[in-house]
C-alpha cells in the first residue's frame, strides 16, 4: 500500500512539514535502489584494540574505502565501532564519543554498527557484564537519534571472536540496503559455523548469489510477504517451491511462473503437510521458510474457540509439526536452514491479539528451543519479527490507526514486504550459519511495546 504522507513530505509539502515540525520520513535506500555514489563512500572503523585494525583490514580486502579517523567534511557511509575489548563501562567513552563526533558526517541512509561481546550476566565479571549490557542500551538509544533514514544496529559476539565467518556476513547485511528497515537490533553470532562470504558474493544475484544451487520452500507464497520472500530467494539464486492454500492457487502460480519456481497447493495444517513438502522438493529439505500465517483479532473476553484455535493451529502448531516430522524422518538436509515468521506482537503484545501474540511468541520459543537440533545437522533455525509492514493484512486497518502505526517507529514509516524478505535471505544463507536460535526484528525500531 502507498504511503501518501511520505511522498507529500518529500515533495510539495516538504517546507510545510519542516515548519510545523511534522515527522519527515525519507525514502529508504533498499538493495536495488542504493546508488553507486553511496556504495563508494568510506566506512569509519573506530576502536583502539587489535580487533578493530583486523576488521579494517578485512573491509579493505573486500574493496571498501576505510578510515580509522574521521576527517571533517568527508561524508561517511557507515561508522563501525569495535567495542569487544571493553572491560568496564568507563572503557567505552573514547570510542563512543568518537561515534558522536563523526555522526554529522554520516550520509543519508547511513549506518552505525557496534560490535561487542554478548551480555551474559551468569558467566561474566560484573563490570564486564555492565559494559556489554551498556552497549545494547547505547545502540538502541542511538537508533532513536538517527536521522534521514539512517540506522544503528549491533553485532553481538557470543563466545566467538570477530573472525567468525558470520560476523562478516552480518556486516554485509547491516551495511547494505538489505537492512534498510532494521534498526535498534542485534544480530548474535554464537558459533564458528558458516561459509566465509565476501561482500561481493553476498550482494550478487542469480547463479553467483548467496543461495545459488539451493532449493527453498516458502509457505504462504501467493501474496504479501511470502511472495516477496519467494522473489528474493529466487533473485539470490535459490530454486523456490511455493506453498499456499488451494484457494490461492491462481495467485501462487503467477508468482512461481514469474520466478521459475514450483507450486505446491497445500494447507500446512494437513496431517501430511511435511510429507507433501518433502515430496515436492524431491529430496532432503534444505531451506524452509515458515511464512503462512493468519490473524483473527478479538479481545479475549469476546474470543470464541474457532478464532483462538485457528490462529494457534496455522501460526505455530502446523510449523512445529512440520519441523518435527521432517526432523524425525531424516528429511532435513545436512546444513538445513529454517526461518520462521514471528511478529513484534509476539514480543510486545498487542490489544485484541492474544491469540496471534501467543502464536508468534510461540514461534520465538520454538526457534530458540530447536537451535540445538539444527546445529547437530550443521544447520540453523531463526525467526524474523516484522513490525508494521505494508501488506493486504495491514491495509485492512482503520486509516488513522494505520497512520499512527507507520509514524511510531524511528524510521517513521512502514516497512515493505521486501525488507522482511531481505532479512530472511540473509538468515537462510550459508554465511549466516553461525547465527542460530535468534529472532531479528524488522520493524524500523517500532516504539510500540518492546
Interface ranges with ligand NAD (CB under 6 A)? 219-220, 222-226, 243-245, 248, 267-269, 291-294, 314, 341, 343, 386, 388-389, 391-394
Q: Do 238 and 206 meet the contact criterion of CB atoms below 8 Å apart?
A: no
With respect to ligand NAD, which residue has the nearer C-beta, 331 or 420?
A: 420
Q: Which three cell numbers stand for residue 89?
A: 563501562
With respect to ligand NAD, which residue has the nearer C-beta, 48 or 393?
A: 393
CB contact burial 248-279 (16+ within 10 A = b; e otherwise) = beebbbebbeebebebbbbbbbeeebbebbbe
What span, in angstroms and rounded, lies between the C-alpha atoms of 88 and 100?
20
Say how many C-beta atoms besides its own lie within 10 A of residue 225's C-beta: 29
What is the residue-wise DSSP string for 354-422? HHHHHHHHHHHHHHHHHHHHHHHTT-EEEEEEE-SB-SHHHHTS-HHHHHHHHHSBTT-S-B-HHHHHH
> Cβ 144 to ligand NAD, closest distance in Å?
21
Q: Do 388 and 445 meet the contact criterion of CB atoms below 8 Å apart?
A: no
> Cβ 54 to ligand NAD, closest distance in Å?
38
With respect to ligand NAD, which residue has the nearer C-beta, 34 or 367?
A: 367
Contacts of residue 269, defined as CB under 8 A and 6 or more positions apart, other chains included, come to 313, 314, 317, 318
With respect to ligand NAD, which residue has the nearer C-beta, 120 or 267?
A: 267
356 has catalytic annotation: yes
With respect to ligand NAD, which residue has the nearer C-beta, 42 or 417?
A: 417
Q: Which three cell numbers stand for residue 182?
A: 532494521
318-328 and 354-376 are packed helices; what angle lies between their axes, rounded to 10 degrees? 10
DSSP summary character for residue 295: -
Which among 5, 38, 181, 356 is annotated as catalytic? 356
> Cβ 354 to ligand NAD, closest distance in Å?
15
> Cβ 284 to ligand NAD, closest distance in Å?
22
> Cβ 364 to ligand NAD, closest distance in Å?
12
Q: Which residues are catalytic?
A: 356
Amino acid at each position: 500500500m502507498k504511503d501518501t504522507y511520505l511522498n507529500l513530505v518529500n515533495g510539495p509539502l516538504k517546507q510545510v512539514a519542516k515548519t510545523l515540525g511534522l515527522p519527515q520520513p525519507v525514502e529508504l535506500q533498499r538493495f536495488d535502489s542504493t546508488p553507486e555514489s553511496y556504495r563508494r563512500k568510506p566506512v569509519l572503523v573506530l576502536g583502539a584494540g587489535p580487533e578493530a585494525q583486523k576488521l579494517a583490514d578485512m573491509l579493505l580486502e573486500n574493496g571498501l574505502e576505510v578510515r580509522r579517523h574521521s576527517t571533517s567534511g568527508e561524508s561517511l557511509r557507515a561508522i563501525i565501532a569495535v567495542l569487544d575489548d571493553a572491560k568496564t563501562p568507563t572503557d567505552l567513552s573514547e570510542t563512543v564519543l568518537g561515534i558522536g563526533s563523526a555522526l554529522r558526517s554520516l550520509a543519508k541512509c547511513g549506518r552505525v554498527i557496534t560490535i561487542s561481546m554478548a551480555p551474559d550476566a551468569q558467566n561474566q565479571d560484573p563490570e564486564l557484564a555492565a559494559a556489554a549490557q551498556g552497549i545494547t542500551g547505547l545502540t538502541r538509544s542511538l537508533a532513536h537519534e538517527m536521522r534521514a533514514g539512517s540506522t544503528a544496529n549491533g553485532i553481538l559476539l557470543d563466545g566467538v571472536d570477530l573472525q567468525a565467518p558470520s560476523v562478516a556476513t552480518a556486516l554485509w547485511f547491516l551495511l547494505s540496503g538489505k537492512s534498510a528497515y532494521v534498526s535498534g537490533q542485534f544480530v548474535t553470532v554464537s558459533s564458528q559455523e558458516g561459509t566465509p562470504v565476501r561482500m561481493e558474493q553476498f550482494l550478487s544475484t542469480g547463479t553467483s548469489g548467496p543461495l545459488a544451487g539451493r532449493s527453498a520452500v516458502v509457505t504462504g507464497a501467493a501474496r504479501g510477504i511470502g511472495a516477496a520472500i519467494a522473489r528474493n530467494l529466487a533473485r539470490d539464486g535459490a530454486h523456490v517451491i511455493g506453498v499456499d492454500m488451494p484457494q490461492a492457487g491462481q495467485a501462487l502460480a503467477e508468482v512461481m511462473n514469474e520466478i521459475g519456481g514450483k507450486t505446491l497447493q497445500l494447507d500446512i495444517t494437513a496431517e501430511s503437510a511435511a510429507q507433501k513438502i518433502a515430496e515436492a522438493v524431491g529430496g532432503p529439505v534444505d531451506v524452509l521458510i515458515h511464512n503462512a500465517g493468519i490473524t483473527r483479532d478479538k479481545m479475549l473476553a469476546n474470543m470464541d474457540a474457532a478464532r483462538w484455535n485457528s490462529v494457534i493451529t496455522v501460526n505455530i502448531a502446523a510449523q512445529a509439526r512440520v519441523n518435527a516430522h521432517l526432523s524425525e524422518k531424516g528429511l532435513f538436509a545436512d546444513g538445513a536452514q529454517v526461518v520462521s515468521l514471528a511478529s513484534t506482537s509476539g514480543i510486545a503484545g498487542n490489544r485484541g491479539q492474544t491469540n496471534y501474540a501467543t502464536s508468534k511468541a510461540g514461534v520465538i520459543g520454538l526457534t530458540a528451543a530447536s537451535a540445538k537440533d539444527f546445529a547437530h545437522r550443521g544447520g540453523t533455525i531463526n525467526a524474523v519479527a516484522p513490525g508494521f509492514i505494508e501488506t493486504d493484512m495491514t491495509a485492512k486497518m482503520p486509516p488513522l490507526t494505520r497512520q499512527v502505526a507507520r509514524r511510531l517507529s524511528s524510521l517513521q514509516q512502514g516497512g515493505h514486504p521486501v525488507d522482511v524478505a531481505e532479512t530472511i535471505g540473509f538468515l537462510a544463507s550459508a554465511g549466516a550459519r553461525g547465527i542460530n536460535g535468534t529472532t531479528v526484528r524488522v520493524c524500523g525500531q517500532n516504539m510500540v511495546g518492546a
